[in-house]
Amino acid sequence: MKKILVVDIGGTNVKLMISRAEKRKFASGELSPSDMVAEIKEVADDWDYEAVAVGFPSPVSNGKILKDAKHLAPGFAGFDFKKAFGKPTRIINDAALQALGSYHGGRMLFLGRGTGLGSTLIWDRNVLPLELGDLPYPGATRIEDVLGKVGLDRLGRRAWRREVHQTVAQLKLALIADYVVLGGGNSKNMDELGDGVELGHNRNVYLGGTRLWQSDAGTRRPKWSVIS
């Protein structure tokens, strides 16, 4: 296993991990892709790593960012992170990165509720990033405006919790999930969890980054199949 630098790019902060315990971060702000990579290299200058795993808050296909993120500066779509880092680099949607680190068998639905709503379905060795955040929702423009920070601020904690419980139960049923993992910064505002629902943790992002680089024994083929 290579020594992996895990980079979790969010709408507010860029978080760096070289282990589950060693973490650093800086504000993502309006940084261009090249400026962000330069900042990552500077912040992680004293860390020794052989490869990079990047989680990005936008659809990613075959290791390429398909479109710019809602809360970041433009220019990330098609940006060559591997060339910029000068090291082997793998890129995946940020919710899929945390989902991969949270997975412990069966069929799992991951919902990351932070600035927006990230979502991923995992079963066996298959990782399917989803875009549930733009689904329409009664009384709101889209579902992420209810389950994310916007919904919490608008509805208040009690009403927001009720909406989360109902919606998570429906999504679990619709996607035939054995269990749901709730990640993201807003998960700390939950009081009780329904049956088959558990809380994730940001430290699972590091495990997801290392799993992204796992290969089947005796081959160079990735152990996990990221469907895009």
**CATH number, position 40:** 3.30.420.40
Contact call for residues 92 and 129 (beta carbons, < 8 A): yes
Tell me which of 36, 60, 92 is where a domain ends: 92
Alpha helices (runs of H) in the chain, residue ranges in sequence order: 33-43, 81-85, 94-102, 144-147, 149-155, 157-174, 204-212
Q: What is the pLDDT of residue 174?
A: 96
CA distances from 157 to 134, 147, 177, 216 (A): 22, 11, 26, 45
Alpha helices (runs of H) in 103-220, residue ranges in sequence order: 144-147, 149-155, 157-174, 204-212
Say yes or no: 133 and 158 in one domain.
Answer: yes
Say yes or no: 86 and 108 in one domain.
Answer: no
Say yes or no: 149 and 191 in one domain.
Answer: yes
159-166 long-range Cβ contacts below 8 angstroms, 24+ apart:
160/189, 161/189, 161/190, 161/191, 164/113, 164/190, 165/194
Q: What is the pLDDT of residue 218?
A: 66
Say yes or no: 102 and 182 in one domain.
Answer: yes
In a domain, 214, yes or no: no
From 177, 138, 117, select the one nearest 169 (Cα to Cα): 177
In a domain, 222, yes or no: no
Q: What is the pLDDT of residue 55?
A: 96
Say yes or no: 172 and 186 in one domain.
Answer: yes
Say yes or no: 111 and 189 in one domain.
Answer: yes
Q: What is the pLDDT of residue 117?
A: 85
Q: How many domains does the chain have?
A: 2
Cα gap 99→205, rounded to integer Å: 8
Helix (H, G, I), strand (E, B) or coil at 167: helix
Residues of the chain with pLDDT under 70: 1, 115, 185-186, 218
Q: 139 in the Ramachandran plot: left (φ > 0), alpha (ψ -120 to 50) or beta? A: left
Q: What is the pLDDT of residue 1?
A: 58
169: containing domain: 97-199
